[in-house]
Amino acid sequence: MTDPGVLKQLQDRYEIPGGLRFEAGPKGLIRAVVATPQAGAQVYLHGAHVTHYQPRGERPVLFMSAHSWFEPGKPIRGGVPIVFPWFGPRASDPSAPAHGFARLAEWHMESATQAADGSVTLVLGLDAAKATNPAWPHAYELRYRVGVGGTLGLFLEVRNTSDGAITFEEALHTYLAVSDVRRVSIAGLAGADYLDKTDGMRRKTQGPDPIRITGETDRVYLNTQTTCVVDDPAGGRRLVVNKQGSDVTVVWDPWVAKAQAMPDFGDDEWPQMLCIETCNAADHAVTLPPGHRHEMRATIRSEPRYGGDPRCRAHVS
């Protein structure tokens, strides 16, 4: 259940009339509801999880599973999970949570501001006093800036507050909403090497043509700093993921069998989503000296596509 005192404190301290309010979402998890002239968005304090971003006159840009958990200690399925401080399973400790502990923790609000154009920026924080794990016993501070306007700006800053160097992996694990993943193509990764998680982590090289999704796809593209463009002809739009401070991009769709194996994901949901994940992982984990900071950014936007199906353009409620 939501603590009404906590909700009132947030409302009193951070609400922006017509721009930002706080409310209890499913299972009482507190969420920030952002409304700007350019777009609407929702961000849960649980995992600092962006679950919704919808430009005015468009369909939602982020996919959310209708079967997602909204429970303390469990990840939300969809939107943009924050992966930190390890990606995937923790090799040294199989009991540790997949994709680290940041997405399972309750983050705190640090600030909320509105710019002259009406766009809103939230800053949320997390540190070792609030969340840690014996599988990664280090002092750190995370600061996550979420900018809601004509684009969705996600800026994850890691600060090393330990006495020694720390090494971590991180990802903004973005679930894009597509009309039919079997009809999309992905540009931006031509020529990049990748680890194929569906083929024993074999290292392969992406060909020159845009990527098509024809089955379970789980690829860790290495040493790539490029912008990815997902062309969604059935949706009449392109979804663009630009990034800075990231050397790895992961492309993932579970397809049929994996979808059926996930309890918090509908068997029939895999055609409506495609993950384009902004990461530093594997060969590109980040090592940070004491006192230093590192920032990774993802900027997500939707662009109309000439010749798209105009019926796909939603009327924002």
Catalytic site positions? 173, 277
**List 49, 52, 99, 297, residue binding ligand TA6 (CB under 6 A):** 99
* Residue (98 or 165) nearer to ligand TA6, CB: 98
Output the CA–CA distances (angstroms, integers) from residue 288 to 128, 150, 158, 284, 292, in the order listed.
Answer: 16, 33, 9, 12, 6
* Residue (152 or 281) nearer to ligand TA6, CB: 281
Residues numbered 249-288 forming contacts with ligand TA6, rule: CB under 6 A: 250, 252, 275, 277
Strands 166-168 and 49-55: unpaired
Output the CA–CA distances (angstroms, integers) from residue 154 to 82, 233, 239, 264, 307, in the order listed.
Answer: 10, 26, 15, 25, 30
Residues numbered 158-177 forming contacts with ligand TA6, rule: CB under 6 A: 173
* Residue (82 or 184) nearer to ligand TA6, CB: 82
Tokens of 130: 């609030």
For residue 66, with 0-12 CB atoms within 10 Å meaning exposed, 13-18 middle and 19 or more buried, which class applies?
exposed
* Residue (22 or 136) nearer to ligand TA6, CB: 136
Residue 35 beta carbon to ligand TA6: minimum distance, rounded to whole angstroms: 28
Tokens of 307: 């010749």
Contact map string, positions 210 to 249, toward ligand TA6, x by CB under 6 A: --------x-------------------------------
Residues numbered 48-87 forming contacts with ligand TA6, rule: CB under 6 A: 75
Output the CA–CA distances (angstroms, integers) from residue 83 to 17, 27, 35, 151, 270, in the order listed.
Answer: 32, 23, 26, 21, 21
Residues making contact with ligand TA6 (CB under 6 A)? 75, 88, 98-99, 173, 197, 218, 250, 252, 275, 277
